[in-house]
Amino acid sequence: MSANERSTRAFREILQKPGNDACADCGAPDPNWGSCTLGVFICLACSGIHRNIPDISKVKSLTLSRWEDHELEFMAQNGNELMKSKYEAAVPVYYYKPTHKDCQVLREQWIRAKYERREFSEPGKFTYEEGIRDGMLMKRGRDNGQFLSRRFVLSEREGTLKYFTKYDAKEPKAVIKVDSINATFQPEKIGNPNGLQITYLKDYSTRNMFVYHDNGKEIVDWFNSIRAVQLHYLKVAFPGATDAELVPRLTRNFVKEGYMEKTGPRQTEGFKKRWFTLDHRRLMYFKDPLDAFAKGEVFLGNKNYGYSASSGLPAGTHCNGAFEYGITIQTPDRCFLFTCETESDQQDWLKRFNDIMSAQMSPQEYTMEATFRHKH
């Protein structure tokens, strides 16, 4: 039996152990790489990140590389579950653990935080809970689209994120309450691998802010610091709630984004192409993906209260846009008509809308609905 056959047979057995059937770092199924210095099984994408920290992790393919007997023994003795209990012993509840669907900078900083900086091996080694974070980020100008260096200050005591146009400016340009913030990484939209979109409510309207930092660790630290302050705020606001109830209310990825076409309330105007962002029950549309303000928003309530989404457009609708796959959203106040470019896109949007409309609404969402209907 060749060395390769021997290792393949050995791995078949080792991979049966609990936890070894998914990547130790991002949870992708069927990992086909291993770190013979850390004793974990990882996916191809995460193996590339491990390769960038060669003094910590030496990676090999489970099927193509030659494995020594002592390395096989090491992998058999360790594995994902055991190493998780070592390297993830003290991950703070607010820290965002990326999945295989998340962007590179989130996954890389998670891997570096775990194995290189050993942040989570024992409590209290992380720097996200200092109560205040003060630093410079590159921020996209609302009107000119240029990225300029701006000072940001996150304060746990005040429960705010402020930004200043000059480092020594006395007054902030904006004071944002942390409970209204959502932060989500958007490298493709922003055109920077460390691009972060910060969304917040201003006078009941959604405002987008686009920032980045050249240093991946710095931008991910800002992201997790915002989550730490948000959790602190929520614990004060809801003293009886558990971490499991509060963590889903921290920053979140959007449910779906993409182009659709829409017509106006009279439904006689032409269909115009717009960028749509679905943030749980709020469907927002923008002229351009990088616009600061939404042109409009649609609240998606529960289907038992007059909300529905269906394929197609009402009979007699004159569809004069480029897209042909229609969607009709009915709310208690009006009907919204959209078109998608492809049938698969139409079906995906419809599934997301119907999933949301089928879910029970929280007390906060009823409040949001009332505000929304009053405003519109």
**Tell me, what CATH number does 305's domain have?**
2.30.29.30
Q: Which alpha helices (H) appear in 112-153, and where do they start and end?
A: none
Q: What is the pLDDT of residue 187?
A: 96
Reported as a pLDDT band with limits 50, 70 and 90, residue 203 is confident
Reported as a pLDDT band with limits 50, 70 and 90, residue 375 is low
32 in any annotated domain: yes
Is 235 in the same domain as 265? no
126 in any annotated domain: no
3-state secondary structure of 100: coil
The answer on pLDDT for 4 being more than 70 is no
Query: Which of the listed residues 66, 92, 116 is the one where a domain comes to its end?
Result: 116
Q: In this structure, what CATH number is given to the domain that contains residue 109?
A: 1.10.220.150
Q: Are 97 and 91 in contact (CB under 8 A)?
A: yes
125 in any annotated domain: no
121 in any annotated domain: no
Q: For 275-284, how does the pLDDT look when each residue is reduced to its tens digit (9 = 90+)?
A: 999 988 999 9
Side chain identity, residue 103:
C
Is 33 in the same domain as 57? yes
**For the chain, percent of residues with pLDDT exceeding 90:** 68
Q: For 33-50, how does the pLDDT look when each residue is reduced to its tens digit (9 = 90+)?
A: 999 999 999 999 999 999
Is 264 in the same domain as 239? no
Is 207 in the same domain as 301? no
Is 19 in the same domain as 94? yes
Reported as a pLDDT band with limits 50, 70 and 90, residue 370 is confident
Is 156 in the same domain as 106? no
The answer on pLDDT for 301 being more than 60 is yes
User: Using CA atoms, how far apart are residues 155 and 265, in angstroms rounded to an integer?
Assistant: 42
Q: What is the pLDDT of residue 345?
A: 95
Query: For tokens 């050995």, what's the residue?
Result: 10
What integer best gives the mean pLDDT of the chain? 90
Q: Which domain holds residue 103?
A: 3-116
127 in any annotated domain: no
108 in any annotated domain: yes
Number of domains in the chain: 3
Query: For tokens 């240093």, what's the residue?
Result: 215
Is 236 in the same domain as 270? no
Q: Are 47 and 53 in contact (CB under 8 A)?
A: no
124 in any annotated domain: no
Q: What is the pLDDT of residue 148?
A: 94
Element (H, E) at 161: strand 160-164
Is 105 in the same domain as 143? no
- 115 to each of 67, 111, 285, 296, how far by Cα in Å? 22, 6, 41, 45
Q: What is the pLDDT of residue 322?
A: 78
DSSP string, 231-267: HHHHHHH-TT--HHHHGGGSS---SEEEEEEE--TTS
Reported as a pLDDT band with limits 50, 70 and 90, residue 190 is very high
